[in-house]
Amino acid sequence: MTQSEVKHVKKIDRCRICGSSRLEDFFDMGNLPLPNAFLTKEDVQKPEKRFPLVVCFCHDCTFVQLRYIVEPDQMFKHYLYIPSGSQIRIQNFNEIAFTAHRRFHLQSDSLVIDIGSNDGSLLSCFQTLGVQVLGVDPAENLKVAAELKGIPTLSEYFTQELAQDIVNTYKKAALVTTTNVFAHIEHLLDSMRAIYAILDEDGVFISQFPYLLDLLRDQLFDTIYHEHMSYYSLNPLLLLAERTGFKIFDIQHVPLDGGSIRVFWKKKESHKWKIEQETIDQFRAIEEREKLYTIDTYKDFGARVQRTKEELLQLLGELKQDGKRIVGYGAPAKGTILLNYFHIDKRLLDYVVDSTVYKQGLYFPGVHLEIFPESKIYEDRPEYLLILAWNFATEIIEKNKRYQAIGKFILPSPEIATV
Ligand code: TMP
């Protein structure tokens, strides 16, 4: 790392949930660029920052986490991740809002606070149901997008001070939500205590995030990146709840982003919501059966990823030798990881297409592949499309049915497949 890179990263030597120093590294991807640091044409000429990506396991509470933490401002101040690009994600947001509204008896004077509210997509669903909403997100560029939708948004990091300001200025929330944010929180105990502070006595906190069991089973290594500091299984979550005054009362498995869980939390003292103990016990039994609580399970992960790398590079290499053109489909953050870790650049892919207007005209960090609108594939008619946004493969293939008369899709995950 250069001096300027070292300045923005710190190595942790204690578990971020239980404080133990018994951490063991099991997967080292080397130094990679930040996955959402898409580049302008001018940026491509300049040196890029790269930071270490190393995952470790806590031998005391079994929490899986990043060994190196990059300074949040490097990652979140100008954030190019916008969720509304996918119908599946919007359906998921609608489902969260609709089911929570009914199950937790939200009223027109109930306040719902979404932390990491991005462009306000989830809160829009709640607003349609007639409740009060407030977003919190440090990305200044996204506040504008959210407010255009009529979602009041505080463009700040969610700290204990901000929690106090919210309680003083607004009121306590009947529901707090986070989607795909829980992995991004560095100071977990402080953040949970801040959530506790803004929640009504009988309020509910719903957090939805990718599930470690799915990541391991399907080798979703490209979902490991600097922003995702934490990879959750049940045991560390139960400990986190206990340490911060919460009780987890339900968990659901959600088929999103390769497999996520939606966790329901209430204050320990609240008796309003029934604890679904059988469901929680089932999760624990599956995790025990899959040996999530022992380091040996994690140790062969790197070797399995290496085999996938060789297989994919061989496939792409052979296609190129046959003179085929290959284009990437989707420019998600995980695409940066897959492309850079596997060294897939101009030699193998011509360019990438993505539906997000903000990303079009920009270049992938590290490998410098240019991003174009999706329509370009119908002008150029490449023979193969490598789906980098594999979590939306079904949606992408469905909406590009007519492409199947031109060429084939290659899926890199969970198994390499050509369809
Ligand atoms: P995400 O997995 O981080 O949400 O990113 C998905 C990316 O894929 C996002 O940049 C939008 C892009 N995308 C398309 O380009 N076309 C599509 O049809 C879908 C569903 C997503």
Residue having the nearest C-alpha atom to atom 15 of ligand 1: 354
Pocket of ligand 1 (CB under 6 A): 81, 85-86, 330-333, 354-356, 359, 374, 389, 391-392, 395-396, 399
* Closest residue by CA, ligand 1 atom 13: 330
Q: What is the DSSP letter of 383?
A: S
Ligand 1 center–CA 278 separation, angstroms: 36
- Distance in Å, CA 204 to ligand 1 centroid: 30
Distance of alpha carbon 330 from alpha carbon 339, whole angstroms: 12
Q: Which residues pair with 266 in a beta bridge?
A: 204, 247
CA of 83 to the centre of ligand 1 (A): 8
Going by CA atoms, what residue is nearest to atom 6 of ligand 1? 332
Q: Hey, whose CA ends up nearest to atom 3 of ligand 1? A: 332
Residue 391 one-letter amino acid: N
pLDDT of residue 1: 75
Atom of ligand 1 minimally distant from the CA of 391: 2
Ligand 1 atom nearest 81 alpha carbon = 3
Angle, CA 190 vertex, CA 188 and CA 193 arms, to 5°: 105
Among 355, 388, 397, residue to substitute to test ligand 1 (most atoms within 8 Å of Cβ): 355
Q: Residue 102: how many CB atoms within 10 A of its CB?
A: 10
Closest by CA to 33, choosing from 48, 47, 55, is 48
Alpha-carbon gap, residue 224 to 62, rounded angstroms: 17
How far is Cα 94 from Cα 97, in angstroms, rounded to an integer?
5
Q: How many CB atoms lie within 10 A of CB 129?
A: 17
DSSP letters along 46-74, please? Answer: S---EEEEEEEEETTT--EEESEEE-HHH
Residues 6+ apart with CB under 8 A from 165: none
Decide: 56 and 26 in contact? Cβ < 8 Å: yes
Ligand 1 atom at minimum distance from 359 CA? 10
Cα(18) to centroid(ligand 1), Å: 35
Task: Pick the atom of ligand 1 nearest to 89's CA.
Answer: 4
* Shortest-distance Cα residue to atom 12 of ligand 1: 330
Percent helix, strand and coil across the chain, each rounded to 5?
Answer: 40, 25, 35
Query: In a structure prediction context, what are the per-residue pLDDT tens digits for the chain, which is 419 residues long?
Result: 777 777 889 999 999 999 999 999 999 999 999 999 999 999 999 999 999 999 999 999 999 999 999 998 787 766 666 655 688 899 999 999 999 999 999 999 999 999 999 999 999 999 999 999 999 998 888 888 899 999 999 999 999 999 999 999 999 999 999 999 999 999 999 999 999 999 999 999 999 999 999 999 999 999 999 999 999 999 999 999 999 999 999 999 999 999 999 999 999 999 999 999 999 999 999 999 999 999 999 998 988 999 999 999 999 999 999 999 999 999 999 999 999 999 999 999 999 999 999 899 999 999 999 999 999 999 999 999 999 999 999 999 999 999 999 999 999 987 899 99
Ligand 1 atom closest to Cα of 333?
Answer: 3
**CA-to-CA distance for 236 and 101, rounded, in angstroms?**
28
Are 336 and 225 a contacting pair, CB within 8 Å?
yes
**What is the Å distance from ligand 1's center to 92 Cα?**
15
Helix (H, G, I), strand (E, B) or coil at 167: helix
Name which residue sits closest to atom 17 of ligand 1, judged by CA: 396
Atom of ligand 1 nearest to the CA of 257: 2
Going from the Cα of 27 to the center of ligand 1, the distance in angstroms, rounded, reads 27
Catalogue the E-assigned strands of 79-235: 111-115, 132-136, 153-154, 173-179, 199-210, 230-231
359-409 pLDDT, tens digit per residue, is 999 999 999 999 999 999 999 999 999 999 999 999 999 999 999 999 999
Give the CA distances from residue 96 to residues 129, 138, 218, 255, in Å, rounded to whole numbers and listed in that order: 12, 23, 25, 13
Q: What is the largest CA-CA distance in the chain?
A: 66
> What does the DSSP assignment read for 75-120?
HHSS----GGG-HHHHHHHHHHHHHHHHHTT--TT-EEEEET-TTS
Q: What pTM does this model have?
A: 0.93
Residue nearest to atom 11 of ligand 1 (CA): 85
Atom of ligand 1 nearest to the CA of 374: 15
Rounded distance from Cα 354 to ligand 1 centre (Å): 7
Cα-to-centroid distance, 387 and ligand 1 (Å): 10
